[in-house]
Amino acid sequence: MAATLKDATAIVGIGQTAFARQLAAGEKELACRAILAALADAGIAPAEVDAFASYTMEETDEVEVAKSIGAGDVTFFSKVGYGGGGSCATVGHLAAAIATGQASVGVAWRSRKRGSGPRPWKNTTVQLPTPGQWTRPFGLLRPADEIGMLARRYMHEYGATRDHLFNVAMACRNRANENPAAMMYERPLTREMYMTSRMISEPLCLFDNCLETDGALACVIVSAERARDCRQRPVYVHSVAQGLPSQHHGMVNYWNDDPLSGPAWTAARHLWKQADFGPEDVDVAQIYDAFTPLIPLSLEGYGFCGRGEGAAFTEGGALEMGGRLPINTGGGGLSEAYVHGFNLINEGVKQLRGISTAQVPDAATCLVTAGEGVPTSAILLRS
Amino acid sequence: MTAPAESLLLPVPDEDGAPFWEYAARGELRIQTCADCGRLRFPPRPCCPHCGSFASEWRLMSGRGRIWSYVRPHPPLLPAYAAHAPYNVILVELVEEPLIRLAGNLVTSADAPLDSVDPARLRIGARVQVVFTETGGMSVPRWVLERP
């Protein structure tokens, strides 16, 4: 029988710092605090950690983290590219390493001071990846501009409206209003606020954009066998996938047959192929939400509805508690914190432990996705 | 163009993209084409994703296309862009190969500012024609409506 990652590993510890527009501590300290919190949650000593995974955009490297937290000899370390597209792949890489015996205790983390730090798009001295010459001189400067272009076309082709995007923003804000750790905990949103807010890149307004956050998160992954002896109820990594579609161009995916079917479709095909259940069996989903249009696109990509139906899917409270598919139950990147999607991973774990601040009753399966519109990744979790 | 426009970002060509900008300096819109199988490709790259050939040529386009999508960026933006915000950025599908969608700006004439077109004229499907403007020592494509 071929080797499989299915349920071979589990997330047994999660940790996070406070989330705020500005935190005093540096990224390294935040990383260490989140990692040590996750290990304490798991009941595993730092000296047992022998694997690390993070993002290529992570500023604190494994050497710094390992020596600060007091890790043991490390035998596996990996970093995944493409910003928020790498979030779930950090868990996937550790699952693969542990399932194949290259390591036994893995820590994935992301620490970022995006709230108080510079906006990446403001850096004009560094030549961005190749597509920069084809887009930036024309004023397509920010991710919001690049995704806004796809959003406008999506609205044109499928009749999606700003009200559909509002449904996404509202669902995330409602969950954040239930989550004391969320940056938008005490900040309700109304349709009027949304419709009259300033535009960032038409058709996208302020509330279509994620937060700018200082904060860090981490999780701990071990084998399923070891997980049964850990302090917390294991949350099994059921299926993992990365996705870089044929002829994909990153966030400026303008030069292929079908710019509106992005990396989610590629990751989804592999994710479901490896899984014992399908989209209809997902109890709750944590879908990467740097921008509201990524939700309808991802709903289509991961098979919750057909092509062009993602916007309509959001109607009638479908994304709210008790709806067809409650999403981003901690508030997501739009309303809890934007830490390159790592809070979505930890929220998925909370749901399957039954401790979310917006708990879906008896949730047993959760999809977590990474950034859509860039080479991406996804994991299916089950209890 | 005048001073503010010169502080717009200039293209920073890479080795594959350099010929595009060299042809643009002559007022020509050319797209990399496989010299073996004849397929157009964009952005330019070392070899053909269809047949693997490293031989390529640069085919002259008519410069005509249609608006596939557009955005209107508002601040916060880099200062030179904020000065004209909200401006438009359009994606133009080329008549010769609609899967190639060039980013650019719809303007009233080659040297007009990025916000020179009435936003009411922005429409998916509108026919446009390439023009070139000189900025910071480079020639950069802009787009005007076929029927202004």
Contacts of A132 in chain B (CB under 8 A): 12
User: Hey, what are A81's tokens?
Assistant: 């590219």
Within-domain flag for A370: yes
Spatial separation of the C-alpha atoms in residues B135 and B112, rounded to whole Å: 12
Domain with A72, as residue range(s), is 9-117+211-382
ipTM: 0.95
Nearest to A330 by CA among A361, A355, A298, A311: A355
What residue ranges do the domains of chain B occupy?
Answer: 12-60, 62-148
Cβ partners under 8 Å of residue B1, min gap 6: B111, B133, B134, B135
Q: Which amino acid is at A328?
A: N
Locus of tokens 């990224």:
A27
CA distances from A287 to A109, A193, A300, A352 (A): 18, 23, 12, 16
The answer to whether residue B3 scores a pLDDT higher than 70 is no
Furthest-apart CA pair in chain A: how many Å? 58
The answer to whether residue B116 scores a pLDDT higher than 90 is yes
How much is the pLDDT for A135? 95
Within-domain flag for A199: no
> What is the mean predicted confidence (pLDDT) over A300-324?
98
CB contact under 8 A, A133 and B11: yes
Within-domain flag for A321: yes
Spatial separation of the C-alpha atoms in residues A99 and A313, rounded to whole Å: 37
User: Hey, what are A159's tokens?
Assistant: 């009749």
Spatial separation of the C-alpha atoms in residues A217 and A92, rounded to whole Å: 16
Nearest to A140 among B89, B99, B124 (CB): B89
CATH number for the domain running over B62-148: 2.40.50
Q: Residue A125's pLDDT band (boundaries 50, 70, 90)?
A: low
How much is the pLDDT for A111? 97
Within-domain flag for A4: no
How much is the pLDDT for A331? 98
Percent of chain B with pLDDT over 70: 96
The answer to whether residue A126 scores a pLDDT higher than 80 is no
Within-domain flag for A204: no
Q: Residue window 329-368, chain A: list those with CB within 8 Å of chain B.
A: none
Domain count, chain A: 1
Furthest-apart CA pair in chain B: how many Å? 46
Within-domain flag for A92: yes
Within-domain flag for A96: yes
Instruction: Say how many CA atoms lie within 13 Å of B89 toward its Cβ.
Output: 30
User: Hey, what are A312's tokens?
Assistant: 């309509």
Contacts of B124 in chain A (CB under 8 A): 152-153, 156
Q: Reply yes or no on whether A338 is catalytic.
A: yes
Contact A204, A142 (CB under 8 A): no
Reduced to 3 states (helix: H, G, I; strand: E, B; else coil), residue A12 is strand
Give pLDDT tens digits for A23-65: 999 999 999 999 999 999 999 999 999 999 999 999 999 999 9
Contacts of B101 in chain A (CB under 8 A): 254-255, 259
Catalytic residue (choose from A55, A82, A154, A288): A288
Cβ partners under 8 Å of residue B53, min gap 6: B34, B35, B36, B37, B47
Tell me the CATH number at A217.
3.40.47.10
Contact A202, A349 (CB under 8 A): no
> What is the mean predicted confidence (pLDDT) over B70-95?
97
CB contact under 8 A, A142 and B124: no
Contact B35, B54 (CB under 8 A): no
- Residue in B closest to A137 by C-alpha: B9
Contact A10, A235 (CB under 8 A): yes
Nearest to A139 among B81, B91, B100 (CB): B81
CA distances from A91 to A9, A10, A150, A238, B92 (A): 10, 10, 29, 11, 39
Q: Reply yes or no on whether A288 is catalytic.
A: yes
Within-domain flag for A146: no
